[in-house]
Structure 1
């Protein structure tokens, strides 16, 4: 895609977000767009940045580190949205502002210990597996309170909310069910001192359903950059 194509796709995605938020009776500004740039070039990210996008999501650590280095002149908000591996936690803790997909107590401890002291705590969303699919990452809903409580004792982490990656569906009513379940789980666990205000849910094919159920982050790749190379 050309730079103009990326800019046009970004504008179209932003319009979808606005329309869905208005349909839900929400302020469109309450929904943040993460441009999922895995398998995209540094040049494509720069084009989206020049069109106003600031938050980018990466899933493959080495690829992400290469692009972070190439784009060091830009004030990008980097979000790690892939599966976490124990041998990758130091680099994640050092180079990212957010992690979407924390689902393991050992990873939580490592990320906290390895977060550089001069940096603010790493923002994390706990990944919840609502479908029971073994192929999907995340913890069972019943395990979320224990991981939340652990993370609150770790000075290098700041739990901001919950994240999920549901099974795909073409039907909006079906799409909304896991997103509603995540919002209800958040509502059960939130406290005044732990508001869990972030719900990271919704991608290119189901962002409307996610926003209708309260998403505050939508993670959009294909609709902005086209198919991955």
Structure 2
């Protein structure tokens, strides 16, 4: 099922209103999360004006990136990245939002071709210290940021987080505020950073109110994912 243009318009309006309420100079950016979505669905959303798309898996994303290359889209890797796939990611994506260790940063730098601009990098932070989540610990942000900033083939842009999905929005706001504090501290050391990626379909408005400059939205744009089919082969 192709996404409805009205869904995109409604979300952009919500982003504009939430951003205006914070009195910030620029509207928060929308990253359309296109994992499991077909090139046809992505192209339909691109035709409505959306240009930035997020994918979780390198191998799933590569055929889409190739099929839609003529559209000039901006591709973000937002899922956990193994170091042995860093070379592929460094060549295919414009942004990697899930850098959580110096070894991965170094591998991405080695893999980024010299004829492409430096790879935009966000540091993923495990802000709620969840055992099941990837991301660096908050105390490790500064050292990881320095490692990324030292790589000429990488461009440090900021931070990303996936806070725990607490039912109460007050708990999520605590995580968003903690991320904003980390971001402000990092910006004091690296003035060039400009991106705080947090907030998804259910909580992007409070995320923006607490400081997000980019939100990652999938189901609210594309609709619910179809149920997985059992493979009996």
The bucket for the TM-score relative to the shorter chain is over 0.9
Alignment of 1:122-201 (within 5 A): 122-191=119-188, 193-201=190-198
TM-score (norm 2): 0.93
> Alpha-carbon deviations, 1:93-133, whole Å to 9, x = none?
00111011100111100000110001111000101111110
1:91–1:119 Cα change, 3 Å:
same
**What residue is the counterpart of 1:17 in the other structure?**
15
How far is the alpha carbon of 1:62 from its aligned partner?
A: 1.2
**Aligned equivalents of 1:127, 1:104: Cα separation in 2:** 9
**In the aligned structure 2, how far is the partner of 1:189 from the partner of 1:7?**
37
CA shift in 2, pair 1:144/1:193, >3 Å: closer
Return the offset for 1:223. Answer: 0.4
Equivalent residues in 2 for 1:33-72, closer than 5 Å = 33-72=30-69
Choose from 70, 77, 84 the match for 1:87. 84
| SS of residue in 2 equivalent to 1:79 | strand
Between the aligned partners of 2:190 and 2:158, the Cα distance in structure 1 is: 13
Match of residue 73 from structure 2: 76
User: Alignment RMSD, CA only?
Assistant: 1.4
Counting matched residue pairs gives 226
Structure 1 unaligned residues grouped into runs of 5+: none
